[in-house]
Structure 1
Amino acid sequence: MTTPLWPAPVASAPVDAVVALPGSKSVTNRALVLAALAEGPGYVRRPLRSRDTLLMTAGLRALGVTVEDTPEGDWYVVPAPLTGPAQVDVGNAGTVMRFLPPLATLASGDVRFAGDPRSTERPLDAVILALRELGADIDDGGAGRLPMTVRGAGGLRGGIVEIDASASSQFVSALLLSGPRFAEGVEVRHVGTSVPSMPHIEMTVQMLRAAGVAVDDSEPDVWRIAPSALAARDMVVEPDLSNAAPFLAAALVAGGTVTVRDWPHATTQPGDQLRDLFTRMGGACEFTPDGLRFTGTGTVHGITVDLHDVGELTPLVAAVAALADSPSSLTGIAHLRLHETDRLAALAKEINGLGGDATDTADGLEIRPRALHGGVFHSYDDHRIATAGAVLGLVVPGVEVEDIATTGKTLPDFPGMWSDLLAPAQAG
């Protein structure tokens, strides 16, 4: 079957738009897990509704948790004893494939996990080994990957465990989120090279504390949680700041102004670092009563930066760098080879396919700007690669993005939002 191509719109004038982003995927899926483990019912308000979060709600429902839709678009979550047998489809969602197995150890009965073909290639062995060390019975056929079955015994001993989380911060967050419900709590000790995307672990810790859990993270690479109850409460989901990347990038490469509504003044989201990154690349931003206002001139500067903590921003930074007036060096992101696709190889190949000059290195990308031309920009079923192609298409006529629908993973109506972004410019 032929994958549809989306002709990326070209900006005929500077952009001038206000964007209301849907909720954060990272916050939404953490909030759902915490609500499912709470002492009583609660709401997850203003959640993201996308493939990844719908997979999470379906997984929780399969385990016996009630997740009801409200007329306001929120989710009302009613905890219940977790039960099997159950089947959980993780799709290709890292948060689902890593956050739900620890929770499944608390269920009574077998819980089978499977997903998209790519999910079987993504690392899960650190979580599997850690859960076994903490007392879980898991049948993965010795592969350390999906598919697998968690043989839930109604609880988990817990205790101290060493884990190599150098491939993904989600390995740590997965154990911390369910840790308060383990009989002995959990002490997670990271061994190995540095943990990528540390802001995501900080997000997990902050949300646990807000639920009344005492988290001791005073020692580097060690997180301690005593067994405790989680408070039932309402959790309001922030806008997904990482999803602001293509819209801010539009102002940067095409010139003009984009205002993102409700940008928080303080947050643990990695996407907040876009303010610094894109300012260094030639833009300017300020907080206004309407939100964060970002302005660009259409002139982009190259950047040398370690993106280890904010790897998810790499595809959009790389796209902007391909349009810069000087070279860029993006480092610290070897772990991106294990994401939805090998993002480093994919970005280099697709930028070069449009006439660019990009090289993927052991831990990053070297990008030397060249005049680009139109062509097909393959998405690899990766939402962030697809939005990178859309940004390039703003100023490079003839770019066609393969399977733009894959953006539905975190931005359910990206094509519509992109058209709205350009509408004032096209009208002008």
Structure 2
Amino acid sequence: MLLSGGLSAVSALGAEVHNVRVWIAPDHARLVFDLSAAAQHKLFTLKKPDRIVLDLANTKLVSDLQGVDLASSPIALMRSGSRNGGKDLRIVLELKEHVKPKSFALKPNDQYGDRLVVDLYRDMAEAPPKTAVASVNDPSARRDIIIAVDAGHGGEDPGAIGPGRVKEKTVVLGIARELKALLAKERGFQPKLTRDGDYYISLRSRTQRARKMNADMFVSIHADGFRDHRARGASVWVLSPRGASSEMGRWLAQKENSADLIGGVGSVSLEDKDDVLAKVLLDMSMTASRSDSRDIANSIHRNMSKFAKMHKKQVEQAGFVVLKSPDIPSILVETGFITNHDEAAKLKSKAYQRKMAQAIFSGIKAHFTAKPPAQTWLAWQKEGGTQKTTPFSYKVVRGDTLSVIASRNGVSLAALRKANGLRSADHIMIGQVLKIPAS
């Protein structure tokens, strides 16, 4: 069965495969073949046993396939042979699980020359996400606020590269993991990473993953790059009006054939709505999400400006694809210019990554504490609910005070002091573990 065919012109002198790289993601594996020139290719599958065959016209292999790390990949063995009197190259992938292959060519860029990409998509049968049903008498059933944390770039796409070959994809994943750790410690929040490794995710797939997570918010973390190494400064971005308008048009155009829903938990489909109603629903959803996005972005911008030079004095707007979820408040944080020597040195520092994550975390926490979504634990607490749970522990983070911790967990200051043997001075330290008594 023929799955795809390359349309690239073949170099008169032929092409050579110089290197093969493998990137492993949870839902697929990506093989990247580094070529000396563009090469026409065909990809097809064979059964019993399952194999994928890749034919490259007028191409020779000058790399050792035995040295390619296939661990954790769906490939059991990769072998090669020549065809048509040695003129063409055939590469066979022997599989150990069923996959759906897809191939495409990439043109040269600043980092690499011609490449041929083969993606092997695993069968990922996903169970529908479970949403907790809130109960007046059982606050533990109240759902957490889900934050989708998106580390930009990854895998074949390193992002901007700074002095000493420090890569944007590595720095932003470090910040994303720090942010996840902070949110995970905070009761009422559930952080989820769009990627937790060195692999590539397309821009649309990032927002789709947030939607599958039932995310209440999406934050994408990046680091700028510019040819002038003097450029510096962090920035926070939200969706521009023009970007919102174009996305609304895209959703309305595809609503008849789309399984996408709007509205997060308890979401609604546009498929069965007439054009006028669909437009009204989208407009309401996008207006609300953009308003929340600006509130969160402004708070994070203020937090970052306390320790980082900001590119602009205010939150900026653009039509970035990752900001275009109509119903999920979405922001993009540029943590600095990785091409600037001073900022690159800071960004690759674990201490600075934690500081940046703390600024983002504090902005998210402030917004959702003041404006929690309905049927969440934070909304229940804001409404004056009484917690009926067993005692638990809490680790102190930067910015905490004893009174804030007591208020956040619905206990009295006196009870918190007594449970931890504290005196009235209320002196606590970052990293200290406190016992939170049942209230």
TM-score (norm 2): 0.25
Larger Rg computed on CA atoms: 2
Please identify which structure carries the higher strand content.
Answer: 2
Please identify which structure carries the higher helix content.
Answer: 1
